[in-house]
Structure 1
Amino acid sequence: MITGELKSRIDRVWDAFWSGGISNPLEVIEQVTYLLFLRRLDDQQLAAEREIRRLGRTDKPMPFPESKKHLRWSTFRATGDTNALHDLMTNEVFPFLRGLGDDIAGETTTYGAHMHDARYTIPSANLLGKVVDMLDQIPMDDRDTNGDLYEYLLSKLASAGVNGQFRTPRHIIRLMVDMMAPTPADEICDPACGTAGFLMAASEHVREKHPDALVDREQSRHFHHSMFHGFDFDSTMLRIGSMNMLMHGVNSPDIRYRDSLSEGAAGDEGLYSMILANPPFAGSLNYEETSKDLQRVVKTKKTELLFLALFLRLLKTGGRAAVIVPDGVLFGSTKAHKELRRMLVEDHKLDAVVKLPSGVFKPYAGVSTAILFFTKTGAGGTEDVWFYDVASDGFSLDDKRTPLRDSDLPDVLERWQNLEGEQDRARTDKSFLVPKADIVAEGYDLSINRYKEVVLEEVEHRSAEEILADVERLNDEIAVGVARLREVLG
């Protein structure tokens, strides 16, 4: 979490953007991201140069040719005159960033495609100088600090969500990715990718758990070109998402402009082996343009239900999904709610329901959510569904989201990886298995409270006679005390 002086410095720069005439939070984040990206490119060049000095060669990218070395962050930030800095950014640095994506490591990138209509909009030399000074003091080699900075910037996107969109906290993304454990053979999709947080975390997981995969030429090509797929209909989000992936070493992910629920998005049926997503819960919906195929599956205007139907369509047979849904999906009483839950349980394989505490999306929403894990089979397969009631995600559940010592998330992952040990867990525990027959008997209700048993402690109360005797004794003591006080006061 960003705290203290660093947080105050970012807030001051944010205020400077607003006073300088940029009031759109997404635009602020986009402009800051360009500068973060420039600094990251310089770090890549430094790493390559170190390898050349050590080994005499390098396979690492070197974004800055000799003729462009004056555009490197280390040179750029040292420009003492802010007016000269602003002119350099306008006339050379930003055009360089726009064109860079057309050829990185000898290949075309989606970053380049999304940068073609990008604009540099920092309005003044003074503001640019402030932003550069702030970013120069951040330890970019510390991935956690870098991620916390970006998360704090993204937290300013809205105070109550925009079109039902909510930034997914990094630790929740990491939990979902670790539970799904993507492999180098997967094709992963997020049909509402935003800033590509899920895809980025999945790429890091594969790098960490399967380091040998990128050595093989074919697997490396799959990793960079056909493993990660993200769709959104906000061009700024697409640029930020593309830069995120490129900065994390994925050269050409499939990140495209698309309204995933629209009729024009048909054609991807059965293409992906894994879906990781936090789709919009209550966004605006053009019902006339919504895919008729999805409407045939579930007749509704609720985006969260339509997205679940979409996920089932996009997955290959045997493909798996981990998606965040509002609690209403678990127990909603409409025909569409019930039919979708029935499909997950009867026609496919519902694996788990992880209930999240209602403060996870604070400070901008107290919405209550859960993570659904399911496998597309088309032929059933649900036996026991694993439930976990998360009480703490490691942060306070108020608007401050202060880090806490205790978190249930490590226990969630450990128990998920050892489900055989859950067979004997009582329904009074945080996690337990529920047979399919019990879920069917409850009308496919997936609310954990429907199955969790609450044990009431037996408390022995004193008799009324004893309590009245104590009251009389206390009254006598008060009367004596008042009488003594009167004597003292004369």
Structure 2
Amino acid sequence: MSNAAELRRLVDKLWSYCDVLRDAGISAIDYVEQLSFLLFLKMADERQQNFMNPVQILPASLDISWDRLTKLDGVELEQEYRRILSELGKEPTNLGVVFRKAQNRIQEPALLRKLVVDLIGSENWSSIGGDLNGDAYEGLLQKSASDVKSGAGQYFTPRTLIHAMVEVMRPTPADTIVDPACGTGGFLLAAVEYLRANHSASITPEQRTELSEGRTVRGVELVDGTARLATMNMFLHGIGQATGDPVIDVHDALSTKPGRSASMVLANPPFGKKSSITVVGDDGRGEREDIAYNRQDFWVTTTNKQLNFVQHIASLLAIDGRAAVVVPDNVLFEGGAGEQIRRRLLKEYDVHTLLRLPTGIFYAGGVKANVLFFDRKQARPGQAWTDKLWVYDFRTGEHFTLKQRPLRDEHLAPFIEAFNAEDRSARVESERFKPYSYDELVARDKANLDITWLKDPSLTDADDGVPPEIIAQEIVEDLTAALAEFSAVADALVARAAEVANRG
């Protein structure tokens, strides 16, 4: 059987139980989480039972046995499973990240037994091969992202977009690659795949060890459940040791100044306009919230999460470090703190490329986003680092949906070619790719980077062939985005009114 066929078999088999559990009230993302626990336990048992090279992964003191788990039934099975989850969640290693705050969401013991015996227990996962295991797991994550009710899609960046971003960023074995809002780990894994595909012959033994132990790439994730999915995803792809230091740190990336810098940042920070906290920047301002972050490395104070992530990533980069960050449109045009951040970024960093993304490619509806590329340089007072910002308009006239017309690699191939990662100074202007000088950018009202020049043919030509379902979806996305903006304004007004009332 070919690898592709075996991959489809594994994904279909693992997914086959999802509908059964959904009828029992378990969402797709919860199902993948429960599979993660059981798959980890089964693979750990296989490695420990390996006759030629046994490896003790699970602490012997915890007396965890997959064989015993398969022989239990009913309440005894449920109780033993809960004990295992609780004990492993206390470990200070990658084990602890996978099982941290883990709960058994399968309330029917008979269903749990079917997963243990018929699904996970019927395969020898170690013999299948790491790449297939990892790819099958990625396939499950992608399927779960389409479960709109669970909100799983907010943690899943389209893999086609990730691959294009990594392709133009060209990570090397010497890089330290960080994603401060890593979700299920898509950017980190794409960077690892790029390194393996392009640097396998030149990578040193020390660099190979650093890569496999999870020191070349690292992520930060706020949500425990998502961090465990990312850790499992990395583990199945051969990154990180079960008993080694966590590859994914579980905390709020915005809460503290980065302890270690990164030579490359790849990220799609969470959307949602208003943060639940306040970040106090070096302007000394603070706004009402229950928790305040004192980030003197930030330029301005704002409760806008995306603006704070831009500041965080700028601070996270080492000198000569480079970043590729997905940002919603409001980061490009918002006044106040947004304008101040854009002006500082343009002056102190080399903001060289902006990719305007089409709608319909994200699982979260109503998203209008871009990819902003910028590099950190040594300070040079009196002179701005940004020379030209090249804007690639991949939005105007492009129409995608998640099912009828999904985004594919070939759609972003022209951007990759135009980016010219080999020599950005040799870029060529085209209909969709235009440069804007620093002076032009800062002269724009509020240093607005939401730049358009193309005319959307669908607005003027009724016979352009765009299917009505795509047009309808775009209308829904526009209305959803507008509603989100109005909701954010309403939240801000309510917060401000409460603050005034408290002062009175």
Q: TM-score, normalised by structure 1?
A: 0.71
1:148 aligns with 2:139: yes
Residue 326 in structure 1 maps to residue 328 in structure 2: yes
The residue number in structure 2 matching 1:258 is: 251
Of 365-374 and 133-142, the range deviating more from structure 2: 133-142
Say whether the 8 Å CA contact 1:386–1:434 is kept in structure 2. yes
1:134–1:448 Cα change, 3 Å: farther
2:470 — aligned with what?
none
Residue 94 of structure 2, aligned match among 110, 115, 118: 110
What is the match of residue 17 of structure 1?
A: 21
CA drift at 1:201: 2.1
2:182 partner SS: coil
Q: Map of 1:283-322 to 2, 5 A cutoff?
A: 284-287=275-278, 288=289, 289-293=291-295, 297-322=299-324
Q: Which residue in the other structure is 1:482 paired with? A: none
SS in 1 for 2:254: coil
Superposed displacement of residue 96, structure 1: 9.2
What secondary structure, in the 3-state scheme, does the structure 1 residue paired with 2:303 have?
Answer: coil
Give the structure 2 partner of residue 192 of structure 1: 181
Which moves more between the two structures, 213-222 or 301-310? 213-222
Q: What does the per-residue CA deviation read over 1:164-219, in whole Å, with 9 as the maximum and x for residues that have no partner?
A: x4421222222222222221221222222222222222222222222246651365
With over 3 angstroms needed to count, the CA separation of the structure-2 counterparts of 1:16 and 1:392, relative to structure 1, is farther
1:398 paired residue among 372, 388, 401: 401
Q: 2:353, 2:296 → 1: CA distance?
A: 24
What is the alpha-carbon root mean square deviation over aligned residues? 4.5
Unaligned stretches of 5+ residues in structure 1: 53-57, 103-107, 460-490
- Cα 1:169/1:43, change in 2 over 3 Å: farther
* Counterpart Cα distance in 2 of 1:13 and 1:161: 18
Letter in 2 for 1:300: T
1:91/1:321 Cα in 2 relative to 1: closer, same or farther (>3 Å)?
same
Deviations 1:114-157 (CA, angstroms, capped at 9, x unpaired): 52543344223432355464666998764555422221123326
SS at match of 2:442: helix
Shift of 1:27: 3.2
Decide which of 379, 386, 389 is 1:382's aligned counterpart: 386
* Cα deviation, residue 7, structure 1: 8.7
Letter in 1 for 2:349: H
- Pairing partner for 1:412 from 408, 411, 415: 415
Distance 1:307 1:45 in 2: 42
Alignment correspondent of 2:261: 271
Which position in structure 1 is the counterpart of 2:192? 203
Question: Cα 1:285–1:355, aligned 2, differ >3 Å: closer, same or farther?
Answer: same
Q: Kindly indicate whether the alpha-carbon contact (under 8 Å) linking 2:221 and 2:253 is maintained by their aligned counterparts in 1.
A: yes
Residue 222 to residue 425, structure 1, CA distance change in 2 (3 Å) = closer
Amino acid in structure 2 at the alignment position of 1:272: A
- Which residue of structure 2 lines up, in the alignment, with residue 128 of structure 1? 112
* Aligned partners of 1:354 and 1:389 also within 8 Å: yes
State whether residues 331 and 338 of structure 2, in contact with CA within 8 Å, keep that contact through their aligned partners in structure 1.
yes
Over residues 350-397 of structure 1, what are the superposed CA-to-partner deviations in whole Å (9 max), with x where a residue is unaligned? 0210111111113x3131100111112244421222222225999x72
In the TM superposition, residue 302 of structure 1 has moved relative to its aligned partner by 0.9
Distance 1:404 1:360 in 2: 6
Which residue is equivalent to 1:437? Answer: 439
Equivalents in 1 of 2:329, 2:195: separation in Å?
A: 31
SS at match of 2:213: helix
Tell me which amino acid in the other structure corresponds to 2:387. Answer: E
Change (3 A) 1:422 1:435: farther
Equivalent-residue separation in structure 1 for 2:220 and 2:409 (angstroms) = 35
Of 227, 233, 236, the match for 1:238: 227
- CA deviation digits over 1:238-259, x for unaligned, max 9? 2222222222112244422211
Amino acid at match of 2:392: Y
Contact 1:196 1:241 in 2 (8 A): yes
Query: How many matched pairs?
Result: 427
Contact persistence 1:393–1:408 (CA under 8 A): no
Deviation at 1:112, TM superposition (A): 3.4
Aligned-partner Cα distance in 1 for 2:211–2:156: 28
Letter paired with 1:275 = V
Q: Would the aligned equivalents of 1:159 and 1:365 in 2 still touch at CA under 8 Å?
A: no
CA distance in 2 between counterparts of 1:277 and 1:121 reads: 30
Give 3-state SS (helix, strand or coil) of 2:322's partner: strand
Tell me which amino acid in the other structure corresponds to 2:197.
E
Per-residue CA shift, 1:39-77, capped at 9, x if unaligned? 65578789x87xx6xxxxx7x9685999x9x967xx899
Deviation (angstroms), 1:33 = 1.7
Cα distance in 1 between the residues matched to 2:68 and 2:426: 57
In 1, Cα distance between equivalents of 2:404 and 2:297: 39
1-structure distance, mates of 2:407, 2:136: 18
User: 2:347 maps to which residue?
Assistant: 346
Matched residues in 1 for 2:457 and 2:395: separation? 17
Q: Which amino acid aligns with 2:94?
A: T
Aligned partners of 2:77, 2:150: CA distance in 1, in Å?
35
Which amino acid counterpart does residue 279 of structure 1 have in structure 2? P
Match of 2:367 in 1: 367
Percentage of identical aligned residues: 29
- Specify the code of the residue in structure 2 equivalent to 1:209: N
- Structure 1 Cα separation of the partners of residues 239 and 218 of structure 2: 11
Q: 1:357 to 1:86 in 2, by over 3 A?
A: farther
Q: Residue 467 of structure 2 corresponds to which residue in structure 1?
A: none
Whether 1:119 aligns to 2:103 is yes
C-alpha distance in structure 2 between counterparts of 1:352 and 1:418, whole Å: 14
Work out whether 1:173 is the aligned partner of 2:201.
Answer: no
Q: 1:22 to 1:255 in 2, by over 3 A?
A: same
- Cα offsets for 1:80-128 (capped at 9, x unmatched): x8x65996686489839965996xxxxx843335525433442234323
For residues 283-342 of structure 1, what are the alpha-carbon distances to aligned partners after superposition, in whole Å with 9 as ceiling and x for unaligned? 64222434332695123211100110111111112111111100111222x121211111
**Contact (CA 8 Å) 1:423, 1:433: kept in 2 or not?**
no
Q: Which amino acid aligns with 1:410?
A: A
Q: Which of 189, 192, 205 pairs up with 1:216?
A: 205
SS of equivalent to 1:407: helix
Instruction: In structure 1, give the amino acid aligned to 2:441.
Output: I
Alignment of 1:49-64 (within 5 A): none
What TM-score results when the alignment is normalised by the length of structure 2?
0.69
1:475 alignment partner in structure 2: none
Task: Please identify the structure whose Cα radius of gyration is greater.
Answer: 1
Shift of 1:413: 1.9
